[in-house]
Copies of this chain bind each other. A is one copy, B any other.
Amino acid sequence: MTLPDFKTWAKSIQERVEVTLGEVLPAAGHQPAQLHEAMRYAVLDGGKRVRPLLVFAAGEIVGASPERLQYAACAVEMIHAYSLVHDDMPAMDNDVLRRGKATVHVAYGEATALLVGDALQTAAFDTLSSRVLADNPTDQLRMVNILARASGSFGMCGGQGIDLYGVGKALTLPELEMMHILKTGALIRSSVLLGSFCGAALDEAERSRLDHFAKCMGLAFQVVDDILDCEADSATLGKTAGKDVANNKPTYVSLLGLAEARRHAAMLLADAQDALVPFGARAQRLKEIADFIVERRS
């Protein structure tokens, strides 16, 4: 049996996740309707769903069922969506365009945007604890903990803080790397780990290799993001382009230059792919998604 090509596979996962997100998010008519409508607006019909794709791709390593993976994928995507809603607010990046649409605070007001982000974060932990997603409940508790660590002040929120307090400051490459490991990398990494807990147990060596892959991809994702922000126009990107420079934010491109940033991304990709070799064919999707993350144009 030949596997469907990556594009076809990715499309099927994206569609599945879209349906599941539609189910786990509160119905738009449920009170308070404005909040629930805005929650759906913030999450549905947008984004490449990179994190869900990683959840499903990692799930292939452990033979996890799509019925479990889809909820783990929704949880991590809701954390991602909440972070975008709050990051876009006037007190943070003050952005008006996201995924080609008006940002939530522009469309629904600041108070609702604040609540939307709060409630989406909660919905992620609700989704991760509402049904059986792992072979044993201890593993599932660990999934909750992985997502919490990745999202909190030692993960995504912490990276956001370093970003915030670093505006206008000259960062060294290790400092920039630390910021991105937290801000973007932690959640990317957790996507892989969450998927890997939905099926058969891995041994220590396997888990450590998978984790190395996940860490490399977390960084590579951000390096490519910086490159795209520098190169692309807003229409292709679906969000305001060039804002890092405009906001005087340190980026891989500002620190390394465009050519070296590209080389850095390629190196991280190679390192990530290396870690997958012992998994053989089971890692096919992870390999493909790694290529996709580094080669994407938006």
Interface on A for B, CB 8 Å cutoff? Answer: 26, 30-32, 34-36, 39, 82-83, 86, 89, 91-92, 109-115, 117-119, 121-123, 125-126, 128-130, 136-138, 140-142, 144-145, 147-149, 151-155, 157-158, 160-162, 164-165, 178
Contacts and interface: CB of A to CB of B under 8 A. Distances in A.
A135 B144 CA distance: 18
Q: How many copies, total? A: 2
Main secondary structure on A side of the interface with B: helix
Contacts of A130: 145
A35 B153 contact: yes
A74 B180 CA distance: 29
A118 B119 contact: no
Contacts of A114: 86, 89, 91-92, 114
A117 B151 CA distance: 12
A38 to B, nearest CB: 9
A31 B161 CA distance: 9
A125 B137 contact: no
Contact of A144 (B141, B161, B162): B141
Contact of A118 (B39, B117, B147): B117
A111 B88 CA distance: 11
A172 to B, nearest CB: 14
Given A91-B110, A111-B91, A141-B141, A122 B160 contact: no
